[in-house]
Amino acid sequence: MKDTKILHVTDFHLENADAIDEFLSKGSYQRYINSLVKEIKKDFETIDCIVATGDFVDCGKGENFEHAKLILFSLAAEFNLSPKNIGVCIGNHDIKCTFKRKKIDTSKDDKTQFNLFSTNFSNKLSFLFKTDRANLSSLAENVYLLALDSTFNRKANSPGKFLKTEAKGILQMLKDSSVDNPDNILIIASHYPIRYFDSFYDSEDIDKHFWQSAVYLKMEIQENINQAKILYLFGDTHQSDREIHEQQAFIMTSRWGIKIPRPEDDPKKKSDISQEAKLIHYLKNRSLKIHTFSYHSKIHKLDANDGHWVGESPIKIDLQTKHADLIKGRYEKDLDLKIIQQIKLDGLYRFDRFLVNKEGEEKISLGWISINNLLKEQKNGILSEIIVSTKDYLEEKIRDISVKDVLYVGIDYWGSIISSQLSVMTGSINYCRALRGSEKHYTKSEQFSETDLETLFINIKYVVFITDVVSTGSTLRRIYEKIISNPVLEAKTKEIKFITISVMSDRRQRKKADLGFLYAFGTFCNNLRIPVVDKEDLPDEGILPSKKHFY
């Protein structure tokens, strides 16, 4: 995964592009943009894409869409981006509507001007699919945008009713377009927030802002899109908030544009909400930083011509690990392919019914590979390549760390062999124990003891688990929980970073266990399909007998 930088702006609310009392008016917008760009470029010379989440104009004033387009084009040009790198979605103010008895007549909603406006951006220039509710487009390399129309099928000036059939259709289109890849970021943009934020507690009319009926889509995506990083971007509320759940980031950004209050305006209607833009920075090490930029006037009253943007200290967040990075070999750059070819050549793959967890968890693997036969043959060079390439991968992840700060934990036979060799090469401590499954087949001396935990881990900063295959992830989770449950280590383990290295881990197989505790997760083969299913999804063993069990 490469570094990716996404700029989020929302709620321009252009009422009169020719006015002098709007920050984004024709006479002020360039100075306003230049100040923001200058602040961003203190840390980032360029970015990858821009997403704007609706309310480009105010109260359906479609004559201002042309100026909104100019604003986005000007912002993109400052970072050498093209219109294809800009994504937009509709807001409630972008609809030309009529009123009946002082209420919006949604049956006469007119989105013509917005639809024409959106043709200038990725939504139409590089779209992959489109429905009345959503369109998917490519924003940049490995970055995709699912732009949602949160006003479609609305009954009043509130989010539109979202149907479960729509969610299933969108999910199927996402699967068909191969978005779900570990290298990809899927941005889901909607004007109304799909997630409930704590800041909503202050709102008396939350039903007009929270898109409750679309939560089902969020749940479907969370359950079925297992590899891509998912970023939700929202507008509408003019509030700033964030939530992170597993690999999903939910970002709500305050308004970017604003009409400058005039002396004759009702003081009660004035807002002290500052203008804001956010830059979401995905880093190579599977974490992200949220950079917030706020506009400050030099004088007490708002002034578009006498203020500047200020960047706040970024918030860094480590994302949960659901799959492993593919580790390149030091000499065999396509080591993943070589492993698969060797498995084919020697006939090492078995397709059957195999119990892979301790009793009670009811998980069945339909595939099994003879790792012993794969790695014991020295002529193919796979084992030696894994050892030296593991060292390279770890040096990249934990630079400038003393060898005394690292503990290798070799899990079972091949994990122990690899970790022992690494210990010799690096001088770090090596701890080899039989830990797979329920541990019921091992002697007491082969398992973690309380003494081991307290003496080995007390001064360690990095723990590196090394194993042959990670299928469900339950063994790793069980080891981790055993370590952190030790009362002597309770405070210490919060500072330890855990890393896992495996020979194999199917990238398309969602890990059943929560591996969010991992700082990094690498494997040498992630393209070999090893399906794991719930036992209840298979026929009775009387119909499909179980020939082998392993723990």
Within a 10 A sphere around the Cβ of 166, how many other Cβ atoms?
Answer: 21
Within a 10 A sphere around the Cβ of 280, how many other Cβ atoms?
Answer: 24
In this predicted structure, the answer to whether residue 361 has a pLDDT above a threshold of 70 is no
Within a 10 A sphere around the Cβ of 521, how many other Cβ atoms?
Answer: 23
**What DSSP designation does 103 have?**
E
pLDDT (0 to 100) of residue 200: 76
260-304 per-position pLDDT tens digit: 555 555 554 445 567 999 999 999 766 899 999 999 876 655 555
pLDDT (0 to 100) of residue 270: 47
pLDDT (0 to 100) of residue 396: 85
Of all helices (H) and strands (E), which one includes residue 426? helix 412-426
Of 200 and 162, the one with more pLDDT? 162
pLDDT (0 to 100) of residue 452: 67
Residues facing residue 408 across a β-bridge? 430, 464
Residue 292 CA to residue 393 CA, distance in Å, equals 32
3-state helix/strand/coil string of 48-92? CEEEECCCCECCCCHHHHHHHHHHHHHHHHCCCCCHHHEEECCCH
In this predicted structure, the answer to whether residue 529 has a pLDDT above a threshold of 90 is no
Share of residues in the chain with pLDDT > 70 (%): 85
In this predicted structure, the answer to whether residue 246 has a pLDDT above a threshold of 90 is no
Residue 31 CA to residue 100 CA, distance in Å, equals 41
Coil, strand, or helix at residue 108?
strand
Quick one: residue 238, left, alpha or beta (phi over 0 = left, psi -120 to 50 = alpha)?
A: left
pTM of the model: 0.70
CA dihedral 238, 241, 244, 249 (to 10 degrees): 30
Task: At 431, list the tokens.
Answer: 């701890």
In this predicted structure, the answer to whether residue 437 has a pLDDT above a threshold of 60 is no
Of the spans 151-165, 193-207, 302-316, 470-484, which averages the highest pLDDT? 151-165
Neighbouring residues of 483: CB distance < 8 A, sequence distance ≥ 6: 448, 453, 457, 463, 489, 493
Q: Which of 102-111, 393-402, 487-496 has the lowest mean pLDDT?
A: 487-496
Task: Answer for the pair 269, 289: CB distance below 8 angstroms, yes or no.
Answer: no
Of 376 and 100, the one with more pLDDT? 376
Quick one: residue 498, left, alpha or beta (phi over 0 = left, psi -120 to 50 = alpha)?
A: beta
Coil, strand, or helix at residue 131?
coil
The residue-averaged pLDDT of 224-229 equals 82
The residue-averaged pLDDT of 340-346 equals 94
Q: How confident is the model at residue 442 (pLDDT cuts 50, 70, 90)?
A: very low
How does 293-310 read in b/e, with b if 16+ C-beta sit within 10 Å? bebebeeeebebeebebe
Task: Answer for the pair 381, 405: CB distance below 8 angstroms, yes or no.
Answer: no
**Averaged pLDDT of the chain:** 85
Task: Answer for the pair 492, 462: CB distance below 8 angstroms, yes or no.
Answer: no
Residue 444 CA to residue 322 CA, distance in Å, equals 32
Share of residues in the chain with pLDDT > 90 (%): 48
3-state helix/strand/coil string of 332-396? CCCHHHHHHHHHHHHCCEEEEEEECCCCCCCEEEEEEECHHHHHHCHHHCHHHHHHHHHHHHHHH
pLDDT (0 to 100) of residue 495: 80
The residue-averaged pLDDT of 411-422 equals 92
Task: Answer for the pair 402, 394: CB distance below 8 angstroms, yes or no.
Answer: no
Of all helices (H) and strands (E), which one includes residue 481? helix 474-484
pLDDT (0 to 100) of residue 1: 59
Residue 116 CA to residue 29 CA, distance in Å, equals 22
The residue-averaged pLDDT of 38-52 equals 96
To the nearest 10 degrees (0 to 180), the angle between helices 412-426 and 382-397 is 60
pLDDT (0 to 100) of residue 527: 86
Residue 391 CA to residue 425 CA, distance in Å, equals 8
In this predicted structure, the answer to whether residue 52 has a pLDDT above a threshold of 90 is yes
Among 233, 228, 469, smallest CA distance to 367 is for 469
Quick one: residue 404, left, alpha or beta (phi over 0 = left, psi -120 to 50 = alpha)?
A: alpha
pLDDT (0 to 100) of residue 108: 85
